[in-house]
Structure 1
Amino acid sequence: MDRINLSLLKALSENARMSYAELGKRVHLSAPAVAERIKKLEEKGVITGYRPNFNLEKMGIPITALVECQVYRTKEREFKSLIMTLDEVIECYNVTGPQAFVLKVGVTSMSSLDYLLERLIDLSDTNTKMIMSMPINENMPKNIEKVTEITDS
């Protein structure tokens, strides 16, 4: 990963709709050179997609929470199958520790959250944390140049 690719990734993380010409100005390359680099980053699986960010509250989903799930022994497969069907689940992390899964959920009301938790109760113990705000909402470390090995090739 060279400095130019890191700069391209940082720029795309700020605005994935930036044109190749705009990206080229940032990294001092032509638009075709930028397009070729981005194509290679996609082929290598470094860039896995382009998605908009949403304000859930403005979409009528005012409550977001993190639900830590301590899945009962022998119920993990069933738990995974269930959460794949739950529309309220925005993200799911398999983590270390007794609460092996952390779900980020978005719901329209506290009663909707309660109903969601009831669906999980036969498969896991849960611990719910309400998300008050997100002071940092990044998809890559800000100091990416320092944490990633940089090559000049």
Structure 2
Amino acid sequence: MADNLDPTDWAILAELQRDGRLPLTELGRRVNLSPSAATERVRRLETTGVITGYRADVDLAKVGLTVLAVVRLKYPGSSHQPLHQLLAERSEILECLRTTGDDCYTLKVAATSMGHLEQIIDELAEFGSTTTNVVYSQTLPYRGPRKLPTVAGTGRGAER
């Protein structure tokens, strides 16, 4: 699908990632399209699954989740359903990535206090050994891709 995205599509994606509530007339103005053309482009990006949804970014501290941590989990078993059940139940676990290397999973966890974080880690430790890093600050919040990176020397987008 990346080969089918032109610079205008990437500009639309960048604008909508900055503000998912941007009115289509304003989006069109920012990317030099008529409102109807912008609407059509957005619908195509949604239909093809490039845009998978819209969400609100929440300030964790303002909702009482003042401790943010990255937890790595070594999961020795092959039945991952019990972990998936915990992930579904614990809203404090914001993100979970299955990874290669020594750790099987990397999780982003928000907690109200160090004690609360400890409770979550204790639950995760039932599945395997954990390594926890507390986040001091978020230098670069998740922003999503703005354009397809080019591969050095080819002038083409990176193959995935």
Alignment of 1:14-33 (within 5 A): 14-33=18-37
Shift of 1:29: 1.1
Residue 47 of structure 1: aligned partner: 51
- Name the CA distance, whole Å, in 2 between partners of 1:125 and 1:146: 35
User: Distance between the aligned counterparts of 1:145 and 1:79, measured in 2?
Assistant: 33
Q: Bigger relative contact order, structure 1 or 2, given CA contacts below 8 A and separation 6+?
A: 1
Letter in 2 for 1:19: P
1:79 to partner: Cα distance:
2.0
8 Å CA contact retained: 1:3, 1:145? no
How do 1:74-85 and structure 2 match up within 5 A?
Answer: 74-85=78-89
In the alignment, structure 1 residue 127 sits paired with structure 2 residue 131: yes
Distance in 2 between residues matched to 1:128 and 1:40, nearest whole Å: 41
Normalising to structure 2: TM-score of the pair?
0.85
> Superposition RMSD on alpha carbons, in Å?
1.6
Count residues in correspondence. 148
Structure 2, unmatched stretches of 5+, are 151-155
2:107 corresponding residue in structure 1: 103
Q: Which runs of 4+ in 1 moved over 6 A?
A: none
Deviation string, structure 1 residues 77-113 (Cα, Å, up to 9, x no partner): 3222222221210111111111110111111011111
Cross-structure match for 1:141: 145
Q: Percent identity?
A: 31
Q: Residue 89 of structure 1 aligns with which residue?
A: 93
- Describe the superposition over 1:5-37 as per-residue Cα deviations: whole angstroms up to 9, x where unpaired: 111111111111111111111121111111111
Unaligned runs of 5+ in 1: none
1:73/1:146 CA distance change after superposition, 3 Å: closer
Aligned residue type for 2:117: L
**Structure 1 residue 75: deviation in Å?**
4.6
Paired residue type of 2:139? P
